[in-house]
Homo-oligomer: A and B are copies of this chain.
Amino acid sequence: MSNNGRLAVPDKRAVTDHDIIDVLAERWSPRAFADRPVEPEKLRQLFEAARWAASSYNEQPWRYLVATKDDPEAYDRLLNCLGTFNQQWAQTAPVLMLGFYKTTFSRNGKPNRCAPHDLGAASAQLTAQATALDLYVHQMAGIEMDTIRDTYDVPDDFEPMAALAVGYLGDPDVLPEKLAKREQAERTRRPLDETVFGDDWGEAAPLAR
């Protein structure tokens, strides 16, 4: 271990089989964030990027709640909506968000099957924009649904989906040892030939072989 026994800030750029743009290759989900606020204009850019995502019938089913450490009471209220494991590390992030989707179409009240998908697209755009601004986003599925509904009086036709921790990259040493080591872990993904099928389900498309 170099760096006087401290863990190095990891290089986690994706090792890709085919070239992809930097804002996607350099994205990863850290648990250690720097103790540095995020400029409000940059947060607006993140939400603006989400805003322009595609959605079924342009419903834009996504909504976000956001809290920053500038308002400690609001921040703690949002932190308390995360699972206890996630609270351990997410409290290093200067900004926390919750992502929601509207379960029905506003134009006719019918169920919107694509709403969680479209929130995922919006949050991915938010994250790409973050990466372009040297910010990092770590999304979490481990959230407390009942606490969220009670805390924010969420309408019945909205569903909480994920939390997002946002900030500048921090030193892994701020984390408990076990989590600090995880920051160094290799990033892995299933190969394309198990993901991209051609004429038959489960059979790699010619271009993915």
Contacts from A to B (Cβ < 8 Å): 14, 16-21, 23-25, 27, 29, 40-41, 43-45, 47-54, 56-58, 60, 62-68, 71, 74, 77, 113-114, 116-125, 127-129, 132, 139, 141, 152-155, 161-162, 187-190, 192, 195-201, 205, 207-208
Taking CB atoms, residues of chain B closer than 8 Å to A122 are: 124
User: 7 nearest interchain CB pairs?
Assistant: A120-B120, A117-B120, A124-B124, A121-B124, A18-B48, A56-B141, A120-B121
Taking CB atoms, residues of chain B closer than 8 Å to A197 are: 63-66, 152
**Distance A154 CA – B201 CA, assembled complex (angstroms):** 6
Using CB atoms, name the residue of chain B closest to A113: B141
Contact B53 A128, beta carbon cutoff 8 Å: no
